[in-house]
Amino acid sequence: MALSEEIVVTQTVESVPAGRRIRGWRIAGYGAMFLAVLIIGLPVYWTLTAAFKETREIYNIPVTWVPANPTFENFPEAWQAAPFARYYLNSFITTFFGMLAEVVLAVTSAYALAFLKFPRKDLIFLLLLAALMIPVEITIIPNYLTIARLGWINTYQGIIIPGAAIAYGTFLLRQAFLGLPYEVIEAARVDGAGHLRILRSVVIPMAQPAIITMALLSLVAKWNDFLWPLIVTNTSDMRTLPIGIYWLRNSEGLTDWGVVMAGALFLIIPVMVVFLWVQRFIVEGIAAGAVKG
């Protein structure tokens, strides 16, 4: 009996430091999470509040984190200071068709890399991984020269085509496809389904979270793209929203940050709405892309 009590006391004493360590790591994790949210969220909060402030309040020291006299005048001023209706149209066209092309190419190429057998398949996948390591800025000059020779400067296709195929999308979906139950695909083949039928009726429905995640990543990247549309367009009627906000800032002299932040909200809100609509697929889709190599 004494031996059992001694064992219980020893185990209790040894478990105390372990419990404290777990609590310590948990507190550290919450602290890191809070710091990350603060670093990311503070600029967004400042943008939101500045859009409702008067100019003199924005320049006040110390900074006011809540508008003293909220105003909505910055939004019509921003809308009238630049042709935002045209910017919206251009951004919707280039984003939608660019994302659609990228998703179609990524789905079909990922299916080929995951389920088809052809020579040098591993080499092609290795080249795909190598493409992930190449900065986008390196491809700007070759892409511009190609687009110029095709006569696509200042056109929608000039903005869309160079970004229609991205290596990361193919890589993400290929990893997700490899995690699908192969027995279902094999059963579809036994029933006489071809590759297009299998892709449309089996693979795409099962990999829907990963495809939606990839589409959302593509949408955000193309919606916020600034450098390439700036380089390949040369008239105001072909500019997109990020460029419009840049010119809005430059056209103000002493920058009216309230107007600029209101214009920034024109850019942020559509993406935020889409993100909230499909957020349930994001974690599942990214996790599906990390199941198998």
* One domain for residues 23 and 165: no
- Residue 59 falls within a domain, yes or no? no
Q: In this structure, are 24 and 162 located in the same domain?
A: no
Q: pLDDT band at 291, cuts 50/70/90?
A: very low
Q: Is 68 a domain residue?
A: no
Question: Domain containing 117: what range?
Answer: 74-288
The pLDDT of residue 287 is: 53
* Count of domains observed in the chain: 2
Same domain assignment for residues 25 and 150:
no
Give yes or no: residues 13 and 87 share one domain: no
Q: For 186-226, write each residue's pLDDT tens digit.
A: 888 888 888 889 999 889 988 888 898 889 889 989 999 99
Lowest mean pLDDT among 19-33, 97-111, 142-156: 19-33
Residue 80 belongs to domain with CATH number: 1.10.3720.10
Residue 60 domain flag:
no
Domain presence at residue 65? no
Domain contains 56: no
Give the end-to-end CA distance of the chain in Å, rounded to a whole number: 55
Are 40 and 166 within one domain? no
pTM for the whole thing? 0.79
Q: Could you read off the pLDDT of 144-183 as tens digits, one per residue?
A: 999 999 999 999 999 999 988 888 889 989 988 988 888 8
